[in-house]
Amino acid sequence: MAALTAEPGFHSSAFALVPKRDVPLSEDGRIIHDLSAPQGLSVNDITDTSLTPDARWDQFSCISIRIVELRTRYPGCRIYALVADIAEAFHHVPVHAHHSSAFGGTFPRSHIGIVSGMANRSGYSNG
């Protein structure tokens, strides 16, 4: 990691643990990758949002409309829907290749680090 931090194009951002509901951090927590710090130099600050895709969720009514369409098109057939709870998921929204060429991190209170030096076709942003 020391060699990377000396690299002029290298930027790091912190991992942190934040509370979940009413559970103490000593028992459980949500790991976050803080891409909003340091202010002015963060991954979020240097991300060119004009290159990011527009991510939107359709309204729930779209699902109902689709089910009705499928029932009309395929009468008598079962219509299955996949439902998932993604509250525990950790998301990185792909943006543009020049935003990130590697991903890495260190484990707190240790000298252990992980770096993925693979060139990515996407960057990372949480903003």
* 5 within domain boundaries: no
The band of 75, judged by pLDDT with boundaries at 50, 70 and 90, is very high
User: Is residue 17 helix, strand or coil?
Assistant: strand
Q: Which tokens in the block code for residue 32?
A: 């976050």
Q: Helix or strand or coil: residue 8?
A: coil
Q: Is residue 122 part of a domain?
A: no
Q: What residues make up the domain containing 31?
A: 12-116
For residue 49, tell me if it sits in a domain: yes
Q: Residue 110: inside a domain, yes or no?
A: yes
98 located within any domain: yes
* Type of residue at 13: S
Token duo for residue 61: 């009514």
**Residue position matching structure tokens 């912190």:** 14
Asked whether residue 121 is assigned to any structural domain, the reply reads no
What confidence tens digit (pLDDT) does each residue in 78-91 have? Answer: 988 776 655 555 55
Whether the full predicted model's pTM is greater than 0.85, yes or no, is: no
Q: Could you give the number of structural domains in the chain?
A: 1
Beta bridge partners of 32: 16
Q: Does any domain span residue 35?
A: yes
Cβ proximity of 118 and 104 under 8 Å: no
